[in-house]
């Protein structure tokens, strides 16, 4: 199933032959890694995407999240996929070891995330927005904010969202206009 999502051969060509990602292991930040590590994380991503994200792609599109005024409800398969994703440690794949991350190169993390985008763009939005929120807090947040929000995000207990507002459109992306 994972080969139906992305070509691993093409991905390996891009990462190892064109971008020479393996050479990043010569840098101190990535010295504890090797190509074997990179391949293992890519394999894990392909497996999780194929087994836990792809199967409910159509169902999730047909059953949007619902808000009853107090709680948001999603189909169970989305929650199950997110739990597996969080347990794998991929939320923190490019984050520092000190916060529980794998400290992988961002280019490798992005390659891993491509599997999830290919499998189910809707469900992949939850962890990817969470990663962006966590990175924002890691860069600009206080220690208290990091402890209160980032650690639960890495564990998959909290998820982040996109907050976007434009003067003429509010948060309606379809109503945003631009001029050159």
Residue 137 has pLDDT above 80, yes or no: yes
pLDDT tens digits, residue range 82-104?
A: 999 999 999 999 999 999 999 99
pLDDT value of position 57 = 97
Residue 163 has pLDDT above 70, yes or no: no
> For all residues of the chain together, what is the average pLDDT?
93
Residue 116 has pLDDT above 70, yes or no: yes
Looking at residues 122-149, what average pLDDT do you find? 95
CA 77 remoteness from chain centre:
17
CA distance between the termini of the chain: 43
Whether this prediction's pTM lies above 0.85 is answered by: yes
Question: How does residue 1 score in pLDDT terms, banded at 50, 70 and 90?
Answer: low
Percent of the chain with pLDDT over 90: 86
Q: Which domains does the chain have, with CATH numbers?
A: 2-124 (1.10.540.10)
């Amino acid at each position: 199933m994972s080969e139906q999502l992305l070509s691993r051969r093409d991905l390996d060509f891009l990462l190892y032959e064109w971008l020479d990602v393996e050479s990043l292991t010569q840098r101190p930040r990535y010295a504890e890694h090797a190509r074997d590590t990179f391949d293992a994380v890519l394999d894990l991503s392909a497996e999780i995407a194929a087994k836990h994200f792809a199967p409910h792609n159509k169902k999730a599109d047909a059953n949007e999240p619902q808000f009853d005024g107090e709680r948001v409800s999603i189909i169970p398969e989305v929650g199950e996929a997110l739990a597996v994703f969080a347990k794998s440690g991929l939320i923190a794949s490019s984050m520092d070891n000190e916060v529980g991350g794998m400290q992988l190169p961002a280019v490798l993390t992005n390659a891993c995330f491509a599997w999830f985008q290919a499998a189910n763009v809707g469900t992949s939005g939850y962890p990817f927005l969470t990663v962006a929120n966590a990175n924002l807090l890691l860069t600009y947040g206080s220690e208290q904010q990091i402890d209160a929000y980032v650690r639960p995000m890495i564990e998959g207990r909290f998820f982040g969202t996109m907050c976007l507002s434009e003067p003429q459109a509010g948060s309606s992306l379809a109503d945003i206009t631009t001029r050159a």
